[in-house]
Structure 1
Amino acid sequence: MTETTRSATHPAVSPLRVAAVQSNPRVGLENKADNVAATIEQIEECAGHGARLIVLPELAGTGYSFDTREEAYAHAEPVPDGPTCAKWKELAARLDVYIAAGIAESDGVHLYDSAVLIGPEGFIGTYRKSHLWNREKLIFTPGSSYPVFETRIGRIGLLICWDIWFPEVARILTAQGADLICSVNNWVWTPPPLFDEAGNCMASYLTMGASHVNSVPIIAANRVGEERGGKFLGCSLITGVNGWPTAGIADAEKEEILYADMDVVASRSAVVWSELNDLPRDRRTDLYDPLLGYTGGTPAVR
């Protein structure tokens, strides 16, 4: 391609450096201030390396393993008016960055495991985790929608951890026009085999698969460390529109930050593989509705 050749992806329309932060927050009110301070340092470090979209793990400011609802209430904050969001908003404005991060949200008597999206101009929106894992069901209220947020850099969808095991989530976000997905996670160690012979875990493959079949980049930030008997998986990754990791897969036990350069809106044309292979056109929405509610079929007669 010559420098004068123009196409759907050249020159890049929304070039952006993105970052996935793999960290180790600690549960307990005595640790909350340090957790939030760590997120500020991480965001500043990412911005210093040129990142404008920075993704932090699930419950990044509080840690994860709440023993009781009372403890979760004590950690939780209103969104977007709580102190943690206020700090992230100030930082996003000062550094001219976008931040996607997990937070324990209180809304009246309800508690949500949420992800917020904040940009240079302020708070953009919230996603409340819809698929609750294990003891989360005893603490949090499940969310009930899959919002996609229009921003200056492109259309951004959010998902949280266990959501990636449900292919409907990434598909619904993409069907609603998401250009990329920010995945904030606390993936945990599960019964063996945890890794395959290539050293990869199932969460990584599920992220790559969701990215590939939807032709959408996914920035997946997970945590590491141990907390109240649980161990976290690490293995953060950033995929391109083809589903393959663009910056490798992070270590299973170390804190680190992954970076990748992408054209955020490239997914709008990347879904067209050839004249005869077009993912949106090939979907059989005559058999299921566009947002995946199955509408037909009868049991087979045996």
Structure 2
Amino acid sequence: MSTVRIGAAAAHFGRDLEFDLARIAKLIDDARRAGAGLLVLPDAALGGYLADLRHPDPDALPPALAPDDPVIGRVAALAAEMVVCLGYSEDGGQKRYNAAVCVSGDGVLGRHRKVHLPAGEVAVYSPGESFDAFDTPVGKLGMLIDYDKTFPESARSLALGGAEVLACLSAWPTSITNRAPRMAQDRQARLFDLYDQTRAAENQVVLASSNQTGSLGGMRFLGQAKVVGPGGDILARTWSKAGLAVAEIDVTAEIDRARRVLRHLDERRPSAYRGGAE
């Protein structure tokens, strides 16, 4: 992988798919103007996230889209030469999934179904079953959907699969049970940044973290989109505002530099770990 500009978006999305598509088109255009080859959009960019995590209303859920829904093809057409990752609610027939898809003008490059579901999502979604890295024109990628990145095994599985860039798509709200007077003091805001930096540093990979902004129902989203280097350093960020975090990085060279002396993936001792960690 040569030098690439990576963009991570902080933006608001709701139930109106045409509104969402217009916003996606604007973000893709802004990223293209910034020279980005990869753009990571938030979880639930098509249709918005749940309005209530404690008691989701079954009559007010995001629209469920088939994996081959034409709206995903429209995003692929907008992406053209760029690689774009985005989230949506997937219609799996008898099941519904919190899902992500990675596209370019050539079509679908990779997919992911959220594996780790917080309490409120269990009532709505079924869990995915794997973490799979995939090839793209900007290198080998892996995707995580918000709560997935809380678990070290998720990112580690993708890194072991060869992913050099982790795309973390989120609809991550402020704390529901312990609201802080200022977002900077919010527990979930602190954890969001901590997980982003830790997952990059422990796997020595590049991480692009997107998130929703604004409010939906009782949910208030953090923003805090960022690009993180393989040493855990934040290369670009939006803070809590809507916008794009864009960083230019020679991914392979920076990963090689991070792994020059300490190579975390090679120095693991799986036989010493509990729970079948590999």
- Is the shorter-chain TM-score for this pair beyond 0.5, marking a shared fold? yes
CA distance in 2, matches of 1:70, 1:78: 19
Match of 1:146, SS?
Answer: coil
1:82 is the counterpart of 2:69: yes
Shift of 1:278: 2.4
1:258 aligned to 245, 248, 253, which one? 245
Separation in 2, partners of 1:165, 1:221: 15
Cα 1:278/1:214, change in 2 over 3 Å: same
Displacement of 1:33: 1.4
1:118–1:124: 8 Å Cα contact kept in structure 2? yes
Match of 2:170 in 1: 185
Distance 2:142 2:93 in 1: 25
Equivalent in the alignment of 1:293: 276
- When normalised by structure 2's length, the TM-score is 0.89
How many Å separate the matches in 2 of 1:280 and 1:228?
Answer: 42
| Amino acid across the alignment from 1:208 | Q
Instruction: List gaps (5 residues or longer) in structure 1.
Output: 1-12, 296-302
1:168 equivalent to 2:153? Answer yes
TM, length-normalised to structure 1: 0.83
Aligned counterpart, 2:116:
131
Code of the aligned partner of 1:251: W
**1:65 matched to which residue of 2?**
50
* C-alpha displacement of 1:286: 3.0
Which of 144, 151, 173 is residue 159 of structure 1 equivalent to? 144
How do 1:208-223 and structure 2 match up within 5 A? 208-223=197-212
Distance change in 2, residues 1:32/1:211 (3 Å): same
Change (3 A) 1:282 1:222: same
Q: Would the alpha carbon gap of residues 18 and 181 (structure 1) be closer, same or farther in structure 2, given more than 3 Å must change? A: same
Give the one of 183, 187, 202 matched to 2:191.
202
C-alpha distance in structure 1 between counterparts of 2:258 and 2:271, whole Å = 20
Is 1:33 paired with 2:18? yes
> Amino acid of the residue matched to residue 3 of structure 2?
P
Contact (CA 8 Å) 2:7, 2:246: kept in 1 or not? yes
Kindly state the Cα deviation for residue 272 of structure 1 after the two structures are TM-superposed: 2.2
- In the alignment, which residue of structure 2 is the partner of 1:298? none
Match of 2:93 among 108, 118, 127: 108
1-side partners of 2:190 and 2:277: how far apart?
30
User: Could you tell me which of 232, 240, 258 is aligned with 2:221?
Assistant: 232
1:63 positional shift: 1.0
CA distance in 1, matches of 2:66, 2:76: 14
- Secondary structure (helix, strand or coil) at the match of 1:280 reads coil
Deviations 1:187-226 (A, max 9, x none): 11012566459xx622101110110111111100011111
CA distance 1:168–1:267, change in 2 (3 Å): farther
Mapped to 2, the partners of 1:57 and 1:281 lie a distance apart of 32
- Alignment of 1:23 with 2:11, yes or no, is yes
How many residue pairs get matched? 269
Letter in 2 for 1:181: L
Structure 1 counterpart SS, 2:245: strand
Please give the per-residue CA displacement for 1:129-184, whole angstroms capped at 9, x wherever unaligned: 00112321111111001010012321100001111111111111111111110000
Structure 2 CA distance, aligned partners of 1:281 and 1:77? Answer: 40
Report percent identity of matched pairs: 27
CA distance in 2: counterparts of 1:51 and 1:138, whole angstroms: 37
* Among candidates 244, 255, 259, match of residue 272 of structure 1: 259
Distance 1:71 1:229, change over 3 A: closer
